[in-house]
Amino acid sequence: MYIKCSDLEFAFKVFDGMPQRDTVSWNAMLFGYAGRGDIGVAQKLFDAMPERDVVSWNSLISGYLHNGDHRKVIDVFLQMGRMGTVFDRTTFAVVLKSCSSLEDHGGGSKFMDLQLKWVLIVTWLLEVLY
């Protein structure tokens, strides 16, 4: 509730005082900070999480997209795959948006590097989907 009301500081005090935190409470805090643009805090929360699910990964990836760090979106997505987390439609949409943004800003050899990454990512996504 406090996160929806943009009172992250109070929400963090409540979170910090919780005797036991579950994945939902961690995700709520991660989502709040990532959505506010505090990607550094969001990354620290993510790194401290004892367990992560697809919502955790999506919150972090979306936070990097929100901050315009498209290369980090791809890096985190690839890390997500290496960790064995199965992506969902949200993950797919965010990654595709980042790839298209990178493509729009690429040129020369950067464009070729991006094309290679794009092919690898789409190939991997299709393998996972089917």
Dump pLDDT digits (tens) for 81-95.
Answer: 889 898 888 988 888
Q: Which two tokens stand for residue 49?
A: 């999480």
What is the Cα–Cα distance from 58 to 73, expressed in whole angstroms? Answer: 10
CATH of 8-129, one of 2.60.40, 3.90.1690, 1.25.40, 2.40.50: 1.25.40
Choose the weakest-confidence range: 2-11, 53-62, 70-79: 2-11
Torsion of CA 19, 57, 65, 34, to 10 degrees: 0
Angle at 43 between CA 38 and CA 46, to 5 degrees: 125
What is the band of 13 on the pLDDT scale with cuts at 50, 70, 90?
A: confident
Please tell me the pTM assigned to this model: 0.76
Is pLDDT larger for residue 109 or for residue 56? 56
Contact at 8 Å (CB) between 54 and 88?
yes
Residue with tokens 């993950």, as numbered in its chain: 91
Radius of gyration of the chain (CA): 16
**CB of 118 closer than 8 Å to CB of 126:** no
Which tens digits make up the pLDDT trace of 90-130?
988 888 888 777 765 553 345 456 566 666 777 777 666 66
Dihedral sign computed on CA atoms, order 24, 53, 46, 90? negative
pLDDT at 115: 60
